[in-house]
Every structure is written in structure tokens, then in C-alpha cells.
Amino acid sequence: MDLLARVQHLFMASITLKTQALPLLAPVIVRAAEMLVMGFHQQKKVLSCGNGGSAGDAQHFSSEMLNRFERERVGLPAVALTTDSSTITSIANDYAYEQVFAKQIYALGQDGDILLAISTSGNSANVIQAIHAAHEKQMRVICLTGKDGGKMAELLSPEDIEIRVSSMSTARIQEVHLLIIHCLCDLIDRQLLGAE
């Protein structure tokens, strides 16, 4: 396969997965956006976490909330638990890497806050521990997962929301996760600011 054909194949694979996922994920994305807006109305915050590309997604969501998405508005309280290298490395060194998000949630999380937990496999040990910590703090959880949802899907309470991208390709899952994050940002702004 030549390189041009390969690029075309990758574009089509991404488009196909997004098209297939749309009818399944759209109602769940709406529910998640409504949960986030309700939290913001109640003066609650969103803590987000993930590893690798999912860490980037957690930071992307947080930055869109704290600054703005596509429209001018006041900043909304969101914290990515992936950005403080001193905190992450001290927890990993003194305890275990599995605790890098959970320990931050125990310190920062409050009743009614929301955890946005992102893992393409649904099996990231430190994100699983973050969900346990969030539940102990009486936080609600929104998970972005892939594949079969992994162990994270099994941990969720009825009040939590899983947005699962049913694919075995990590790259394709991440592409849809980013689109989901942009949908959440757009729906949050529409609920807070009205239609443009």
C-alpha cells in the first residue's frame, strides 16, 4: 500500500467509526453534558485524569472549561490531575503510580464534584483507583472508555455515565474521545449561554 492510500485508509477508518458510534453515543453525550452543567450550576468542579494521550485529553477538557471553548464566557472550575509533575512524581515515588490521581482526589474532591476519567482500554490501574476515590468522596463519574469498557465499566454506579467507543484501535478510540470532548464543550456552552 502506498503512503497516499494509507492516509486515505486512516481517514476512512476514523470517519467510519465516528459514523457507527454516533447513534449509540449521542444520547449518552447529552446526559454527560447535562450532568456537567448541573454540577457547574451547583458550584461544583470537574477533576479529570488519564494517561498518555488520555492525559492530553484530560488537560484539553480542563483548558476549554477554565478558559473558553468557541464562545466568550466566564471560566468554569475544572482541574486536570495530570499536570503537576512534582505532585505526580512524589506520589509515585512515596506510594505507587496507581495512586497518582486517587491521592489528589482525596485532597481536592468534594461531595457532588465530577470525575472525568479517560482510558482507551478501561483498565488503567491509576484511573481505576481514581474512580474508587471519587466514589468515596461522593463524586459522580463520567468515563470515556474504549474496547469493552474494561474494569472501569464494572465499577460505575447507576448515577455514573460511561461513554464507550467500541473499537480495538487505540488511535481510533482517541480520535472519537476528542470529538466527544468537543461535543461536551459545545453542549455545555449552549446550555449556559443559549444558542448562538
For the annotated binding site, the residues are: 51-53, 60, 64, 93-94, 119-121, 124, 174, 182
Share of the chain above pLDDT 90, in %: 98
CA 161 distance to own-chain centroid: 11
Q: What is the pLDDT of residues 95-109, one digit of tens each?
A: 999 999 999 999 999
Q: Is the pLDDT of residue 16 over 90?
A: yes
- DSSP track, 54-116: HHHHHHHHHHHHHT-SSS------EEETTS-HHHHHHHHHHT-GGGTTHHHHHHH--TT-EEE
Class at the top of the CATH hierarchy for domain 3-193: alpha beta
User: Does 1 score more than 70 pLDDT?
Assistant: no
C-alpha cell at 84: 503537576
Q: Can you say which residues are annotated as belonging to the binding site for Zn(2+)?
A: 60, 64, 174, 182
pTM summary value: 0.97
pLDDT per residue as tens digits for the range 125-163: 999 999 999 999 999 999 999 999 999 999 999 999 999
Q: Per the annotation, where are the binding residues for substrate?
A: 51-53, 64, 93-94, 119-121, 124, 174
Asked whether residue 11 carries a pLDDT value surpassing 80, the answer given is yes
pLDDT of residue 195: 86
Where exactly are the structural domains of the chain? 3-193
pLDDT surpasses 80 at 10: yes
